[in-house]
A and B are shown apart, each in its own frame.
Chain A
Amino acid sequence: MFSVAARRTALHSRAAATSAFRSPAALRSFLSSLAILEQREGQLNHGSLSAITAAQKLGGSVHAFVAGGGVKSVAEEAAKIDGVEKIIAVDNAAYDKGLPENFAPLLVENIKKGGYTHVLVGHTAFGKSLMPRVAALLDSQQISDITAIESENTFVRPIYAGNAIATVESSDAIKCITIRGTAFPAAEIAGGSATIEDGVDSKTESTSEWVSEELAKSDRPDLATAGKVVSGGRGLKSKEEFDRVMLPLADALGAAVGASRAAVDSGYADNSLQVGQTGKVVAPQLYMAVGISGAIQHLAGMKDSKVIAAINKDADAPIFQVADVGLVGDLFEKVPELTEKVKSS
């Protein structure tokens, strides 16, 4: 079934056995990665370029894959990324919504055709829904949400809400991987000239149908990739207060707005703003936690931030144990004062 992959593995072990006589470059040539890109209405999702960065770290050849209606311009944009050899594009509107029932068989066909050893996608809603289905079809045990690559078969991933870090070695011929975007910066679109090739269109009918979507509109930076994040918790007390206190601070700093699960569950902020184990994982330059106690599930989503600042009236809140700078005080006084001082400085 996987003759190409099997042959590659066989070749690889032979190469490894005689590695003393081979240059590392020769070894690397047996490794080939496919990075899955996300697109929306013909626009490339730049966050998904993290998959290319991870593929480049593996060494070996890097191809990228994109599917949807009229994806030519997306393919052309991605072709400009340095180090990418080939963009495989499938132009068919049936893949626009990324429904896993037809997208997974499509990927499997293209993975088999290309004989890839590694397949990578972001650990986003799209990647999380799609990749395990692909892995199951390939009989491969996926490696989720990796934060580092130690070698072509050894990967690092957080477990237990980031309270432990596991290093795992995969024995699968095709390694299916989802990557944590904040651990791999998006590849830059410059300096490359990849060829663009039509992929195989497996034309599997989707057994599910897309009905509608409701996306939160915001002019502020995207939470997952913002350089600064201000995040509010239960201490904000109501949606009105959340908006009145947090939004001006976010605007003064040019920051994205986040929230703790408590704030989301109480209806102060939209679900999509939740930072934590069950929400988004962020790693900005500055993370400012306002009225957030710092439960382990929340810390899992932000403890890799460069600088953490906390404002909380409880001097014993766990957030102060991880904050680089903490201010004990009433957020309803301190945050507006801070907003004014940031604006005037």
Chain B
Amino acid sequence: MSALRILVPIKRVIDYAVKPRVNKAQTAVETAGVKHSMNPFDELSVEESVRIREKKSAPGGVEDICVISAGPAKAQDVLRTAMAMGADRGIHVEVKEGDDLEPLAVAKLLKATVEKEKSNLVILGKQSIDDDAAQTGQMLAGLLGWPQATQASKVTFGEGDSVEVTKEVDGGSETVRAKLPMIITTDLRLNEPRYASLPNIMKAKKKPLVKMSLSDLGINNERRLKVLKVTEPAPRQGGGKVEDVDGLVAKLKELGAL
């Protein structure tokens, strides 16, 4: 079996616990001064890659775990976090703040990287919690013509480059088998990401981090979707509380829900 050269794309997003606010001009969500961290699904991708190495679950072993992020200078923070979790090296594709790439452009960028780095397994999060698009992994698989397994909750390696993936689907789970090279996107049940220890955070500072530009990878940031406006959702009016179960039943009847 081929040794794994794993590419793990990660994204810096507003921290999941922060309630996002729409800016005054209604053009975007306010990002300045807001806590950011690694997209939670990408943490799962990094964790899974490191576990494949630690548990020696792939017959051919793991030769390389490379993390990549496209974004402003601060994207380097999440790359360092991933390296502290166990990734070997990082690639930072510098994109100006506010010049975010759409999933199709990211997929094209990743295709170029996969070819350059000779990756044979790409593990991505199933979606980023800012744009909620859930597209990049599938698009990359399409562009490369590779098999894909989305929303993975379990990944096992067999002989002859075969990989079996259990996916979460509506109503339960489904298992598919494919051969390397392939694309996997992670779902929440896949694993529980580790916290980076202080010594590992220190070590991660010495791991190689290469800076690149979009043009180095032959990509231009051509946007296909124009954001016309971003608004707050219509607020819900809390209806107050009742004293007891009788009150609850009466109120539900009044609202026509019972």
Give A contacts to B, CB under 8 Å.
97, 99-101, 104, 124-126, 128-137, 139-145, 154, 157-172, 206-216, 224, 228, 253, 261, 265, 270-272, 277-278, 280, 285-286, 296-297, 303, 306-309, 311, 315, 320-329, 334, 337-338, 341-342, 345
A158 to B130, CA, bound (A): 10
**Given the known A-B contacts A170-B225, A297-B16, A326-B242, are A207 and B146 also in contact in the complex, defined by CB atoms under 8 Å?**
yes
B128 to chain A, nearest CB (A): 10
Question: Which B164-189 residues sit within 8 Å CB-CB of chain A?
Answer: 164, 167-179, 182, 187-189
Contacting pair B103 A141 (CB below 8 A): yes
Contacting pair B170 A207 (CB below 8 A): no
Among B129, B164, B236, B256, point to the contact of A160 (Cβ < 8 A).
Answer: B129
Contacting pair A161 B224 (CB below 8 A): no
Contacting pair B148 A133 (CB below 8 A): yes
A251 to chain B, nearest CB (A): 15
Contacting pair A286 B258 (CB below 8 A): yes
The answer to whether B251 has its CB under 8 Å from any CB of chain A is: yes
B147 to chain A, nearest CB (A): 4
Contacting pair B148 A208 (CB below 8 A): yes
Give B contacts to A, CB under 8 Å.
14, 16, 19-20, 22, 29, 102-104, 107, 129-143, 145-151, 153, 164, 167-179, 182, 187-189, 223-233, 236-242, 244-249, 251-252, 255-258
A170 to B226, CA, bound (A): 6
A324 to B236, CA, bound (A): 9
Contacting pair A341 B231 (CB below 8 A): no
* Set of chain B residues within 8 Å of A165, measured between Cβ atoms: 230-233
Contacting pair B240 A325 (CB below 8 A): yes
Contacting pair B233 A164 (CB below 8 A): yes
With A285-B256, A311-B248 already in contact, 17 other A-B pairs whose C-beta atoms are closer than 8 Å: A125-B150, A129-B150, A137-B143, A142-B135, A142-B139, A144-B132, A158-B132, A163-B233, A168-B225, A211-B176, A212-B174, A285-B257, A303-B236, A320-B241, A321-B238, A323-B238, A342-B249
A322 to B242, CA, bound (A): 14
14 contacts between A and B (CB under 8 A): A97-B174, A132-B142, A133-B148, A134-B142, A136-B104, A140-B224, A159-B130, A159-B131, A159-B230, A160-B14, A161-B129, A161-B132, A163-B29, A216-B172
A104 to chain B, nearest CB (A): 6
By beta carbon, the residue of chain B nearest A139 is B104
Contacting pair A143 B242 (CB below 8 A): no
Contacting pair B226 A341 (CB below 8 A): no
A228 to B133, CA, bound (A): 28
Contacting pair A141 B225 (CB below 8 A): yes
